[in-house]
Amino acid sequence: MKKLFGTDGIRGVANRELTPEMAYRIGRICAFLLKEDRASSFIVVGKDTRKSGDMLESAINAGICSSGMDVLDVGILPTPALAYLTRERGAVAGIMISASHNPIEDNGLKIFDASGFKLSDDMEMELERLYFSEDHLPRPRGKDVGKVETDHDAINIYGRFLKEICSDLSGMHVVIDCAHGAAYKLAPELFSALGARITTLNDAPDGTNINVGCGSTNPRLLQETVRETGAMMGLAFDGDADRLIAVDENGEVVDGDLLMLIFSSYLRKKHRLKKNTLVATVMSNGGLDIAAEQNGFKVVRTAVGDRYVLEKMVEGGFNLGGEQSGHIIFSDYVTTGDGILTGLQLARIIKEEGRELSSYRTMLSRLPQVLVNCRVSRKDGWEDSPVFKQALKDAHDRVGPYGRILVRPSGTEPMMRIMVEGEKDESILHNLATELVSILVKELNS
């Protein structure tokens, strides 16, 4: 069966792969498929700051209404806020229009169920089956057609929730990079309301500048600004603010692995890390496992994607998980990665423990790791290539007994990713990765 979903929803170039027609069909199917016997009968729809969001929003809303369900339009807000509001408002589902950290040309759909969780694999497959089938879904008429209502206070509701669970940050100076994205208003307001002195970057979205030279995937300006202003730390969000990359007082990047180690160690000391376990993906550095053992907790691994992290957290009764890319999930409070909450929690720990952020670096001794991406014309079939399988076997023999090689297709772009990790010199690992990439490109582009 054909696929719509990647590791984080549906994505594509807006108005080419992800068309208004597709969005309309997705809206109709979601209204039909996710409807439950609930007192309410509406779907929450939000978006990031991309210009194409208006186009897709109108199409999704039309599809939902054509199936006889109402829409609660919450406008521009972070993805975790959409997930929170879906659950708190008692909605049937939530649909977030965002391509996260992807370029401006792209857009995407992240779909949440009534509990604020991303759809399961089974539900995604059923949605795909209906999408690629003929449209025989009900078409109500007259008074039974759905309507759209706008909630201008939705983002403030989420802001008040975050403020209630976070503590005073007075005396702190924080630089915030909003990536011209969904956090552009809420993040500075929250940190200021909690007493922090802030310097704000990239908080003027115009529909075309989201993630452009800024945010979690390009923190260069944030690093420079932290050094120039003498701030205690810097925080960079992506376009929909579900991930965070931090910068210490020296302007050095703090990625998701070190963030997870800081949070896990802190929660364990407070006896609040459930089952003394952190959930991370296969992309996290092997040094995280070593550091976990040294600090009295363990790491459980999952496939790439924060929804797989959350599934494992729910399954095992754990309350902290995340990805190296900066998706951090505090399941005591939220059901998805939340960049703003992560930043607030980090600032609180720094203030409470009276330490500089850079001082935590000694906790994590990373194994050398190289990640190489390559663009391909197709992402399927690489597992069946005899040439690549032999090259992969040879590379495993060369990387050493403590090494790892991961090959995976991007869930959001036409790319393959190869990660090589081990106790070898980084130049050796890089050569191995580039050799594998060269072979993979030939196999998949032939």
Dist. CA 265–CA 359, nearest whole Å: 14
Burial (0-12, 13-18, 19+ Cβ within 10 Å), 445: exposed
Cα–Cα distances in Å, from 246 out to 57, 80, 215, 340, 418?
A: 31, 18, 10, 11, 25
Dist. CA 179–CA 24, nearest whole Å: 28
Let me know: does 110 contact 7? Beta carbons within 8 Å. no
Give the strand pairing for 93-97 and 42-47: parallel
Which residue in 98, 100, 325, 331 is the catalytic one? Answer: 100
Let me know: does 101 contact 91? Beta carbons within 8 Å. no
The one-letter code for the residue type at 355 is R
- The answer to whether 100 is a known catalytic residue is yes
For helices 287-294 and 256-269, what crossing angle results, to 10°? 10
Residues 6 or more apart in contact with residue 418 via CB below 8 angstroms: 371, 372, 373, 374, 405, 406, 407, 433, 436, 437, 440
Q: What tokens were used for 11?
A: 């994505």
Active site residues: 100
